[in-house]
Amino acid sequence: MMAKEIEPGSNWLESRGSDNLFVVGRLKPGITEKEAESMLQALTVQMGKDYPEIAGRGVRLLKPGLFLPEIRDSVFSFAGVLATVGALVLLLACVNLANLLLARSTERRKEIAVRLAVGASRGRLVRQLLTESVLISTAGGAAGVLLAAFINRAARAIQLPTEVALLFDLRTDWRMLTFTLILSLVTGVLFSLIPALQSSKPQLVPALKDESSMAGFRRSRLRNALVIAQVSLSLVLLVSAGLIVRSLQAAQRMRPGFNPRNAVALSYDPNLQGYDETRSRAFQQQVLERARALPQVEQAALTENLPLSINYNSTTIYLEGQEPASSSNLPQAIPFEVSPAYFETMGIPLRGRDFTFLEDQKESRVAVVNETFARRFFPGQEVIGKRFNWSGPENPFWEIIGVVPDGKYNSLGEAPKPAVYRPFLRASNTTTTLVARTRDDPRATLAALRAAVHKLDPSLAIFSVKTLTEHMGTSLFPARMAATALGAFGVLALVLAAVGIYGVMSHVVAGRTREIGLRMALGAQLSDVQRLILRQGMLLAGIGAVVGLVIAFGGAQFLKSLLYGVSASDPVTFTIVATVLLCVALLACWIPARRASRVDPMVALRAE
The pTM assigned to this predicted structure is 0.73
Identify the band that residue 188 occupies on the pLDDT scale cut at 50, 70 and 90: confident
- Pick from 89-103, 209-223, 268-282, 562-576: least confident: 209-223
CA distance 551 to 575: 15
CA distance 267 to 471: 13
In a domain, 63, yes or no: no
Q: 448 and 588 in one domain? A: no
| Alpha-carbon dihedral angle through residues 302, 306, 307, 311, given to the nearest 10 degrees | -120
Q: What is the DSSP string of 100-153?
A: HHHHHHHHTHHHHHHHHHTT--HHHHHHHHHHHHHHHHHHHHHHHHHHHHHHHH
In a domain, 8, yes or no: no
Please give the pLDDT value at position 213.
43
CA distance 572 to 245: 12
Q: 314 and 242 in one domain? A: no
Please give the pLDDT value at position 288.
92
CA distance 222 to 217: 9
Among candidate residues 460, 489, 518, the one where a domain is terminated? 460
Q: 535 and 591 in one domain? A: yes
Q: 527 and 403 in one domain? A: no
Q: Up-side HSE of residue 503: CA atoms within 13 Å toward CB?
A: 22
Identify the band that residue 603 occupies on the pLDDT scale cut at 50, 70 and 90: low
DSSP state of 27: P
Tell me the per-residue pLDDT of 459-514, one tens digit each, with 9 for 90 and over: 998 988 999 988 888 778 777 888 888 888 888 888 888 888 888 887 777 766 67
In a domain, 389, yes or no: yes
Among candidate residues 460, 495, 528, the one where a domain is terminated? 460
Tell me the mean pLDDT in the region 16-33.
73
Identify the band that residue 205 occupies on the pLDDT scale cut at 50, 70 and 90: very low
Q: 442 and 486 in one domain? A: no
Backbone angles phi, psi at 209, to 5 degrees: -85, 0
Q: What is the DSSP string of 471-505?
A: HHHHHHHHHHHHHHHHHHHHHHHHHHHHHHHHHHH
Among candidate residues 418, 436, 460, the one where a domain is terminated? 460
CA distance 233 to 237: 6
Identify the band that residue 209 occupies on the pLDDT scale cut at 50, 70 and 90: very low
CA distance 126 to 463: 66
SS3 content of the chain, % helix, strand, coil (to 5): 60, 10, 30
Q: 130 and 231 in one domain? A: yes
Task: Find, among 537, 519, 306, 340, the residue nearest to 431 by Cα.
Answer: 306
Q: What is the DSSP string of 327-387?
A: TTS--EEEEEEE-TTHHHHHT---EE-PPPHHHHHTT--EEEEEHHHHHHHSTTS--TT-E
One-letter amino acid identity for 297?
Answer: V
In a domain, 22, yes or no: no
Tell me the mean pLDDT in the region 49-61.
67
Tell me the per-residue pLDDT of 285-341, one tens digit each, with 9 for 90 and over: 899 999 999 999 999 999 988 998 866 677 888 888 777 665 556 788 899 999 999
Identify the band that residue 438 occupies on the pLDDT scale cut at 50, 70 and 90: very high
In a domain, 353, yes or no: yes
In a domain, 491, yes or no: yes
Of 366 and 108, the one with more pLDDT? 366
Q: 342 and 304 in one domain? A: yes
Task: Find, among 472, 35, 572, the residue nearest to 260 by Cα.
Answer: 472
Tell me the mean pLDDT in the region 264-286.
86
Mean pLDDT, all residues of the chain: 80
Domain residue limits at 357: 270-460
CA distance 348 to 406: 10
In a domain, 53, yes or no: no
- Pick from 70-84, 117-131, 286-300, 303-317: least confident: 70-84
Task: Find, among 504, 490, 569, the residue nearest to 88 by Cα.
Answer: 490
In a domain, 155, yes or no: yes
Question: Which residues are 422's β-sheet partners?
Answer: 337
Q: 247 and 385 in one domain? A: no
Q: 446 and 310 in one domain? A: yes
Q: 439 and 331 in one domain? A: yes
| Alpha-carbon dihedral angle through residues 601, 606, 607, 608, given to the nearest 10 degrees | 150
Backbone angles phi, psi at 494, to 5 degrees: -65, -40
Q: 115 and 242 in one domain? A: yes
Q: 249 and 109 in one domain? A: yes
Identify the band that residue 215 occupies on the pLDDT scale cut at 50, 70 and 90: very low
Q: CA 366: distance to chain centroid?
A: 39
- Pick from 94-103, 106-115, 364-373: least confident: 106-115
Report the number of distinct structural domains present in the chain: 2
Widest CA span of the chain, in angstroms?
104
